[in-house]
Amino acid sequence: MTEPLSLDVRGVEYAYPDGHVALRGVDLSIGRGERVALLGPNGAGKTTLVLHLNGILTAGGGTVAVGGLTVDRDRGTLAEIRRRVGIVFQDPDDQLFLPTVGEDVAFGPANLGLRGAELTARVDEALAAVGMSEHRDRAPHHLSFGQRRRVAVATVLSMRPEILVLDEPSSNLDPAARRELAEILRSLPVTLLMVTHDLPYALELCDRSVILDEGRIVADAPTRELLTDSELLARHRLELPYGFAVTR
């Protein structure tokens, strides 16, 4: 029997109440363990698509399935979908709101009903995965921005997600923190969807990239292949940093 895809988006359409059409028949399939970068200019529909993956938004047309389970508000499966899809927002302070790092990381699995030794093990596992075990009892606002981003990742990992979705993970990080986060992300045994304008980071972490523009998937290919197509990048307002060259 064929293993279900981590993510299977079919013909997804979405228009906001003001009439703005954000998604126009998006198809996107991601296999288990794949690492895919979602690229595109501002206003392309990237955030709108991400918010469909765990049911925050509901498609006006088409379907979204995570690990074979369809995202459907009427089926009573949203809790499981939201466990399977871990979204790490661009600003870690949007996810850290409790007095200590350990409490923030425990929040999700505790809401699933975990208690005692099992909950402690989840927290230990997630903090170890991001190299933040020694900061368990610290207040999140006492950490550096890079450390807070790693804790935000841990809050999602404690749910043992099927797919980890990262929104601009390298933004506002200094070079060392950027490298440290890349090392962590490479080590995680999960499917990865990374929304980013940082094209070198996409090349570093994702073998495959997808370009979304005006609500449509306009390219889907190996990252290196996309980033060497200067005409394609220019058409969709994507640019490599000055002096950065990608060779085939």
147-190 residue pLDDT tens: 999 999 999 999 999 999 999 999 999 999 999 999 999 999 99
Residue 193 reports pLDDT greater than 60: yes
> 89-133: per-residue pLDDT in tens?
999 999 999 999 999 999 999 998 999 999 999 999 999 999 999
Q: Please report, for the chain, the start and end positions of each structural domain, with discontinuous segments joined by +.
A: 7-97+161-235
CATH of 7-97+161-235, one of 3.30.465.10, 3.40.50.300, 3.40.50.2300, 3.40.920.10: 3.40.50.300
pLDDT value at residue 158: 96
Q: Check if the beta carbon of residue 132 is closer than 8 Å to that of residue 101.
A: yes
pLDDT value at residue 74: 65
More confident residue, 210 or 80: 210
pLDDT value at residue 247: 80
Residue 240 pLDDT class (50, 70, 90 cuts):
very high
**CA 186-144-166 angle, 5° bins:** 35
Least reliable range by pLDDT among 3-17, 60-74, 167-181: 60-74
Q: Residue range 216-225: average pLDDT?
A: 97
Q: Residue range 19-23: average pLDDT?
A: 95
Percent of the chain with pLDDT over 90: 89
pLDDT value at residue 75: 65
Residue 66 reports pLDDT greater than 80: yes
Q: Where does residue 247 rank: exposed (0-12), middle (13-18), buried (19+ CB within 10 A)?
A: exposed
DSSP E strands, 80-235: 85-88, 163-167, 191-195, 208-213, 216-222
pTM: 0.93
Count of residues in the chain? 248
Q: Residue range 212-241: average pLDDT?
A: 96
